[in-house]
Amino acid sequence: MKLLLTNVGLIKKAEIDYSSNLIILTGPNNTGKTYAAYVLYGLSRIIYDNLFEIKSLGSVGGNSSDDYVKKIKEIENKGSVSFNFEELSKFALNLLNLYLKDNSSFLLAKIFNTTDSDFSNSEIEIQVSNLKNFHKQILLREFETRVALPANAKFKITKKKKDKDLNISLEEPPDLSSSKPSPWSYIDVLLLPLLDLGLSTFLDKDPFIATADCGAIYFFVIVASLTRNDRVDSLLSLSDKDSRKKQDNQQRILFDHFRAQSSRYSIPIRDNVRFTEDLFETKKSQQSTHPQVAELIEKKLLNGSIIVSEEGSVIYQPSRKKISQQYGIHLTSSAIKSLVSLVIYFRHKAKTGSWIIIDEPELNLHPDNQRLIAKILAFIANSGFKVIISTQSEFIIREINNMIRLKTIENAFKELPEEIKAAFKMDLDSALDYANVCVYLFDKKVEKLDINKIGFSVRTIDEAINKLNEQTDLLDSYISD
């Protein structure tokens, strides 16, 4: 899948293929890396709230909502109907892009908690970048969900892995004696969950994000302001797209000023903080498919355990035998604070196939731990998650390249050389196929970097290191023994 951005923040134009398992956004400061990551996250979070508007757009690409509704209504006589899921997904994508064409500035303003005028010339589009991979992804999708309609009518929507079709079946017929008008008149509502499932081919419905902003300040500035933000959200909803059409210019200026003064934080930051605030509820969930990732982070990076108390407080327990004392998270290092939410997410909520978006994972980490987090992120990407990171770390990039080289050697030998086994025995699960890695350099423009069996190079980082080395050599030449 490919995200197309035009005039979004500092990004003039970008095409970002996010179909790979590991997507790396790199480059100098203030070039738009975080913008791109936040747009991917924000779209995934808010687009599903606009399904009714997307559905109402009607016809696109030779198909129409009415055609799908007409077929759905056949359930009344047949008991079940089937749809080609690939065609449904393409239809949902076409409707989404039609919606984005007229609403990009509105959606971006919502994501970044600002005014439409800041994105008045912005455009967003999503495309299928590789048809072969798209076909494969469609076949691998599997799900089962249930929908209830008035008069106790219940429907089941299913798709099995390797099946091309999605099936809707009537599980419990409606009570025709207790509802007027006929409950069958509501059946067109079933198109909404179909569009939901179609769009989920392109946008994860429940992504996770760890923002760079939250490492040191979320316990103080942001958390303190969220309660105030929640109280005014209902008032700010008056400035949604439909209401804005009815406002005169003076009212619009007033709402834009009110929004700017009341809410300074983007959706990714607010979600990241709320996730941390709601640990008591999160702790109740034991649905994670990969709790071992949490244990890996604790063992390799934190040298201790993250515990959520019965009251929802976060506690750090060092693993060293001589230290039995537990510490409130506010007493721990910034490195531990920055990794808390990732540990708790993988312990309680992570689902295979979800998106993991991390802004600058190197923050607060010593170089050896930057190498370790790179290996852990590679392991996560190999475990069925989509990992998207923005980074400026030479150590993370070089370690990713090592994991690509390791996979190249693994593929070339029937059995790994003993020297390689000894050096990388703990890293084999982190070895990366370079075909599953995609790297973008954000500089004067956004460009996709070449990648091969030994990895990739980042021009801006290499230039900075070379310049530093040249200056060091010059200074050393004037220092006598």
Whether the pLDDT of residue 70 is over 80: the answer is yes
Asked if residue 29 lies in contact with residue 393, where contact means CB atoms within 8 angstroms, the answer is no
Give the pLDDT confidence of 416-436 residue by residue, as tens digits: 899 998 999 888 999 999 999
Q: Do you find a cis peptide bond into 181, omega within 30 degrees of 0?
A: yes
Whether the pLDDT of residue 248 is over 70: the answer is no
- The confidence score (pLDDT) of residue 3 equals 95
Give the pLDDT confidence of 182-218 residue by residue, as tens digits: 667 777 888 899 999 999 999 998 999 999 865 544 4
- The confidence score (pLDDT) of residue 404 equals 97
Which of the two residues, 137 and 398, has the higher pLDDT score? 398
Which of 330, 366, 360, 333 minimizes the C-alpha distance to 268? Answer: 360
Counting beta carbons within 10 angstroms of the beta carbon of residue 470, is it exposed (0 to 12), middle (13 to 18) or buried (19 or more)? exposed
Residue 245: pLDDT band (50, 70, 90) is low
Looking at 324-384, which runs of residues are DSSP E strands? 327-328, 355-359
Residue 374: pLDDT band (50, 70, 90) is very high
Whether the pLDDT of residue 87 is over 70: the answer is yes
Q: Give the best-scoring range by mean pLDDT among 149-158, 171-180, 220-229, 288-297.
A: 288-297
d(CA 34, CA 198): 27
Whether the pLDDT of residue 63 is over 80: the answer is no
Choose the weakest-confidence range: 8-22, 178-192, 343-357, 421-435: 178-192
Which of 349, 431, 348 minimizes the C-alpha distance to 382? Answer: 431
- The confidence score (pLDDT) of residue 49 equals 87
**Strand, coil or helix: what is 308?**
strand
Q: What's the pTM value of the predicted model, to 2 decimals?
A: 0.88
